[in-house]
Amino acid sequence: MSIGIIGRKIGMTQLFDNKGFVIPVTLLQVGPCTITNIKKENTYTKIQIGYEEVNPNKLTKPMIGHFAKNNLPCFKYLKEYKIHNNEKLNIGEIIKIEKIEQEKLVNISGVSIGKGFSGYHKRHKFSRGPMSHGSKNHREPGSIGAGTTPGRVFPGKKMAGRMGNRKVNIKNLKVIKTDKTNNILIIKGSVPGKKGNIVYIQQ
């Protein structure tokens, strides 16, 4: 069964395995999430889940009506994913961390840390120019296009600009351990975003 759940990044630490090797891990506060809507298509079904209850005064009237239609509490975050039609789920059903299997792989997506406006050197990992005496190209981008033809710079040219703060999806991260009491998921490796960011986990 395909499982999707929303969580929040707590931070990173390290664990030791049975042989004494260090394993870098990320801690995630995961769920519980509630199924808020189900749309059935020909070959698949769309499942919408809600995370983190919120005061209705902080939502718009259409969103309040969306939750009131199914007698559900209001949620701050919503996420939709696809499952096969043979999997049976109901609106209002709660998805908990128990459904995520240990020692299996998950895909995690989130918004990466924003680095602000960065130069081409840092943003695209370009190599620098020669540092010898007389060189005038130490950290300069150099030529950015041809001359008369085409007489312009092509769109998508790798230049300075805003770095980070975009959606990143990391696949095949191993689940080291699940703490069902505190709803904490321990993932091997790094996860996009900073502490407190919302992440989406799918297994």
For residue 90, CA distances in Å to 37, 38, 48, 49, 52 come to 9, 8, 11, 11, 19
pLDDT at 1: 57
What contacts 174, CB < 8 A, 6 or more positions away? Answer: 103, 104, 105, 187, 188, 189
Tell me the mean pLDDT in the region 131-147. Answer: 86
Is there a single domain that holds both residue 173 and residue 82? yes
Tell me the mean pLDDT in the region 189-194. Answer: 90
pLDDT at 12: 92
CB-count burial class (<10 Å; 0-12, 13-18, 19+) for 193: buried
Is there a single domain that holds both residue 105 and residue 88? yes
pLDDT digits (tens, 9 = 90+) for 19-78: 889 999 999 998 788 888 888 888 888 888 888 888 888 888 888 888 888 888 888 899
Tell me if 136 is assigned to some domain.
Answer: yes
What are phi and psi for residue 23, nearest 5 degrees? -120, 115
| Nearest alpha-carbon partner for 77 in 26, 22, 5, 130 | 5
Is there a single domain that holds both residue 33 and residue 71? yes
Tell me the mean pLDDT in the region 156-184. Answer: 90
% residues pLDDT > 70 (the chain): 98
For residue 113, count other CB atoms closer than 10 A to its CB.
13
Parent domain of 125: 115-141+155-163
Residues 134 and 137: their CA atoms lie apart, in Å, by 9
Query: Following DSSP, what letter does each residue of 2-22 receive, concatenated?
Result: --EEEEEEEEEEEEE-TTS-E
Is there a single domain that holds both residue 38 and residue 128? no
Is there a single domain that holds both residue 188 and residue 124? no
Is there a single domain that holds both residue 47 and residue 126? no
What contacts 81, CB < 8 A, 6 or more positions away? Answer: 2, 4, 46, 47, 49, 202
Is there a single domain that holds both residue 175 and residue 84? yes
Peptide bond preceding 62 in cis form (omega within 30 of 0)? no
Tell me the mean pLDDT in the region 104-120. Answer: 91
Q: How many domains does the chain have?
A: 2
Is there a single domain that holds both residue 52 and residue 123? no
Stated pTM of the model: 0.81
CATH number for the domain harbouring residue 88: 2.40.30.10
- Mean pLDDT, all residues of the chain: 88
Is there a single domain that holds both residue 105 and residue 127? no
Tell me if 149 is assigned to some domain.
Answer: no
